[in-house]
Structure 1
Amino acid sequence: MKDSIIKYCVEKKGATEDYPFGPDPLVFKIAGKMFALLSEEKGDYSSLTLKCDPVIAESLREQHEAVLPGYHMNKEHWNTILMNGSLPVSDVFDMIDHSYDMVVKNLPKRLRESILGTN
């Protein structure tokens, strides 16, 4: 699943990979703003931290044992997903989309338009 998550994140328009905190986690950004953090444990990626609307974040935590408040992040706006195989990859991709969209919508209009190619 790790490779498909990395591929999915970097294929987002304007997305970049970075290691701003050292060798772990792998951070995905749009216009310098984080939208995903993929953390490694014992050589395998074990969790994915994503930005989330606070109401949706709480709902996801109630519905899925693998969705927890964001590790080392603002727990109101970030969720950490344990990559234990309990969530379908399509659900994880939906959460990545939501995180990316949350960050993009808060970018200045001109920057957002230049990234997305809209006017």
Structure 2
Amino acid sequence: MNIEQIRTYCLNKKGTTEDFPFDEDTLVFKVAGKMFALASLKWWERGEAAINLKGDPEYSETLRADYNSIRPGYHMSKKHWNTLYLHEGELPAQFVKDLIDHSYEMVVKGLPKKIRETLV
């Protein structure tokens, strides 16, 4: 997947917004103001495609054990975030989408019920 495909996929999720809250390089996708995906555009420009995604801690450990290109979140909580190094070519596009879905669902699950109901 390229960054535009990831961007389109993320923005098609209900309630998703994008912005650059940290700097002009780090593209962040949020649902109800909570981050679920981040990507450094500089990395993509250098051919080092990667995306940070939130994950269930136990599932994250399993993913890291099963895939060399999934590692603890770069500059993120190592317990709750993974970095997927897409340029390594190990992760199929559908699997990346599934992990984006998981990240989105993790964030939505933690939102107040009233907000969750608007996203259904």
For the aligned pair, the TM-score class normalised by the smaller chain equals over 0.9
With the length of structure 1 as denominator, give the TM-score of the two structures: 0.92
What is the RMSD computed on CA atoms of the aligned residues?
1.2
Say if 1:69 and 1:76, in contact at 8 Å, map to a contact too.
Answer: yes
1:107 aligns with 2:107: no
Tell me if structure 2 keeps the 8 A contact 1:38–1:45. no
Deviation at 1:89, TM superposition (A): 0.5
* Distance (Å, rounded) in 2 between the aligned partners of 1:45 and 1:28: 19
Pairing 1:1-119 to 2, within 5 Å after superposition: 1=1, 2-40=3-41, 41=43, 43=45, 44=47, 46-84=49-87, 85-116=89-120
Give the distance between the partners of 2:118 and 2:64, measured in 1 at CA: 34
SS of match in other structure, 1:48: strand
Secondary structure of 1:65's aligned partner: coil
More helix by share: 2
TM-score, normalised to structure 2, is 0.92
SS of corresponding position for 2:105: helix
Task: Number of aligned residue pairs: give it.
Answer: 116
| Contact map agreement 1:39 1:45 (CA 8 A) in 2 | no
Segments of structure 1 that go 5 or more residues without pairing to the other structure are: none
Judging changes above 3 Å, is the alpha-carbon distance between structure 1 residues 104 and 81 closer, same or farther for their aligned structure 2 residues? Answer: same
* Structure 2 counterpart SS, 1:29: strand
Question: Structure 2: where are the runs of 5+ without partners?
Answer: none
The sequence identity of aligned pairs, in percent, is 53
